[in-house]
Structure 1
Amino acid sequence: MDRYTMRKRIIATSLNKKRFLSGVFLTLLATVVNAQPFPYQQAGLPVSQRVDDLMKRMTLEEKIAQIRHLHSWDIFNEQTLDKEKLTAVVGETGYGFVEGFPLTGENCRSSMREIQEYMLTRTRLGIPVFTVAESLHGSAHEGSTIFPQNIALGSTFNSALAYRRACMTADDLHAQGMRQVLAPCIDVVRDLRWGRVEESYGEDPYLCGIFAQSEVKGYLDSGISPMLKHYGPHGNPLGGLNLASVDCGLYDL
């Protein structure tokens, strides 16, 4: 092989190496760029900026899904999470809330973790879901500590007890993988025939307000999001029937 031919081969080999390395570099660069989180995923940015970015990316269907509640009977077979049902119901859209009322406290945490992982990795935008529990006088899941009902607590006129109960209940909720609680109940009782009298702190609006304030503070101080319920006149349904119509005016409200 003469020098001229050898030189051409060396130059060609060098160019091929450069092209190869350039290709590798561009591939890595594209990977890094694609791996960069969207603004709404960056915890260091202002909340308002993250919300604006997320809202612009969401479809109408995804926005509606964020105010919907995923019920346990849709995705569980008794105590077992059915992943095929979860995929069929949620798809890539996501959900705002999920509960697991039939689950034991022990089984609840692992199931909620699996559901949360699905929301973060299998839905289009990876929006986490609120894990929700009923907790009028302790978490509703088997194995939890149960306390006196609100009507009994209200009769003590000691609102500090509502704060302490919320803090203790929050320990169970955290252990069960729950981050939001459907409590406190702030309904004001006006009809003793109503079947949910025990959920209320009593018939006095001021008393109900003071106890609810203490309970809310207990949950918030313990890292649990409380959802106050229900509507103002909910404790005075016609005929005492739960969820019946309410006949009231502005004075009653």
Structure 2
Amino acid sequence: MRSAEAFAKTRAEGRAALVGYLPAGFPTLADSIKAVDIMIDHGADIIELGLPYSDPVMDGPAIQKAADRALAAGFRTRQVFEVTEAVAGRVPILVMTYWNLVERYGVDRFAGDFAAAGGAGLITPDLIPDEAGDWIAASDAHDLDRVFLVAPSSTEERIASTVAACRGFVYAQSVMGVTGARAATSAVAPELVRRTRAHTDLPIGVGLGVRSGDQAAEIGAYGDAVIVGSAIVNCYLDAEDIPSGHQKLAELTADLAAGVRR
């Protein structure tokens, strides 16, 4: 299932989509699969699977800690296809990954294996369209979405070239710096969405910092998708055990889903 299907549904319902992020393999490989099912059961429209990486440049402390835990347990790149295959079919599944991991695996090979597992596309935070020739060719060959990022610092020319290379949706990085749940949403996010919308009809997802249904409702008023990552990871980092984390995740996802549906 491609992300366009999810956005067609949410637009018909007059609301933003809820996008939930979790690193594959965290808190364990099996429990990352269960966590995705929990998010879908409680209202997530699209899932982002993080590909754990030992040298992140954008991830905040929560996601770094989760990735480290997955890697310490022996997670390997190929296992992201196992998780994808286990959860694909109900909602679009995208992988968010640093580009080095895809390049090392083999760009066309990664695209082919991910498509075969039922994946929808990739979000590539450290890859710009100017340097994405191999990925653009591979995503075309395997019919995958490609989601690039725009930021408050992006020029109009950069926004235009970025959205022209996107397929599926555009990721609006609403705050500068690393990821992490925040008490307040970014004040510059509405302006970034406005600037981006001037260059594309693609849906625009807003990410970095959302941790509550109230914040999801606020962002859903102007964005086409609300992307939540660190708050989801914290459900497990802050829990006494994994079953308690599953319960926290169910409650948080339900709150976020109610927020985007206000």
Could you say which TM-score interval applies, normalised by the shorter chain? 0.3 to 0.5
* More contact order relative to length (CA 8 Å, sep ≥ 6): 2
TM-score (norm 2): 0.35
- Bigger radius of gyration: 1
TM-score (norm 1): 0.36
The structure with the largest strand share of the pair is: 2
